[in-house]
Amino acid sequence: MMKGICDGKFWSGFPRRIFDIPRLILPRNRLRLAAGMPIKVRIPTPLRKLTNNEELVEVNAPTIGEAIAELQSRYPGIGERLMDEKGEVRRFVNVYVNEEDIRFLKNRQTPLKDGDEISIIPAIAGG
């Protein structure tokens, strides 16, 4: 039998199958989101001018705060309209994860998982 690259001697330290590859040492949520489904963000009509008229954008972030930071990096100006000077979501902006208000969850630290949907809804005032 010919000895070669795959006989286990030359490549003995390398995985032979994809399942043998050790997991990367990263925080779980980052590793999961890097390989999983992106988080969908519904953009309200008043903010669509900042997203090139896109109603639905996708982000990969483990928390609401990081999702908003990613939106800001991709669409400059959107962060200032969503967050106040202290870094909190503005009072007149409602943010929901899967139809649950983040104010009743963990605000900016609300964790996200694969396939979640974020809805940004500006409060409407008038009379």
pLDDT digits (tens, 9 = 90+) for 36-64: 679 999 999 999 999 999 999 999 999 99
What rounded mean pLDDT belongs to the chain? 80
Q: What is the pTM of this model?
A: 0.69
Q: Number of helices (H) and strands (E), helices first, in the chain?
A: 3, 5
Number of CB atoms found within 10 A of residue 8's CB: 10
Q: Map 17-49 to HEC letters.
A: CHHHCCCCCCCHHHHHHHHCCCEEEECCHHHHH
Domains of the chain: 25-122 (3.10.20.30)
The model's pLDDT over 7-20, given as tens digits with 9 standing for 90+, comes to 544 444 444 444 44
pLDDT for the residue 37: 73
Q: Find all residues with CB under 8 Å of 8, minimum gap 6, and list them.
A: 16
